[in-house]
Amino acid sequence: MMIRATMSNLADAPEAVADQLTVDERTSPFGLFNFAESYRKAADILAFERPESMRPFDAPVRYLFYHSIELYLKAFLRSDGLTVRQMMKLSHGFSALRDVCTTRGLWLADEDRDVLAQIGAEYNYIRARYIRTGFFRGATIEALSRTGASLVETVGGRLREPGIAIRDVAPSRWSPS
């Protein structure tokens, strides 16, 4: 017997209901979008308000932006019908995520395409999570912020089409004026 989550039975026994849902039922485009937004907002705050003494240390900021961008792309893919298992095969491959999203109709600005290529290049995603010394080339913090904000607009717009309510979100602090 399949139990569907409703407001009344979630209040009564949320764990029992959650146990009855599939991973695809628990992983909605809306949930991924909001999760991405929490990472993007944290990254923007940390990037914009961090003290001068912390400015050379940008790996945490980069990781927050990278993860938010990945989650926005996966929110788009879930809204387009990909299963969680299908998305897991893409892992953290930003070039593959970009290609699958654009093939399925997600419009990306030139800067966004460049930023996604730079995240995926030279182990930049891994470098933000684990120490790796030496010179590297990657997108600027400002460009990462703008790409996150751009994805809010494009992916958020896509989610609004079938009537999913998306609250207004703040633009990037580095948006062009």
pLDDT digits (tens, 9 = 90+) for 93-131: 888 999 999 999 999 999 999 999 999 887 777 777 787
Residue 148 is predicted with a pLDDT of: 95
Residue 103 is predicted with a pLDDT of: 96
Report the number of distinct structural domains present in the chain: 1
Q: Per-residue pLDDT for 41 more than 90?
A: yes
Query: pLDDT digit string (tens) for 49-93?
Result: 877 777 677 889 999 999 999 999 999 999 999 898 988 888 878
Closest CA to 68 of 145, 167, 9: 145
pTM: 0.82
Which residue shows structure tokens 């703008």?
Answer: 146
Percent of the chain with pLDDT over 90: 44
Name residues whose C-beta falls within 8 Å of residue 46's C-beta, 6 or more positions apart in sequence: 60, 61, 64
CATH of the domain at 106: 1.20.120
> Are 111 and 146 within 8 A, CB to CB?
yes
Answer whether residue 33 is part of any domain: yes
User: By residue range, what is the domain housing residue 46?
Assistant: 26-160
Residue 26 in tokens: 């628990």
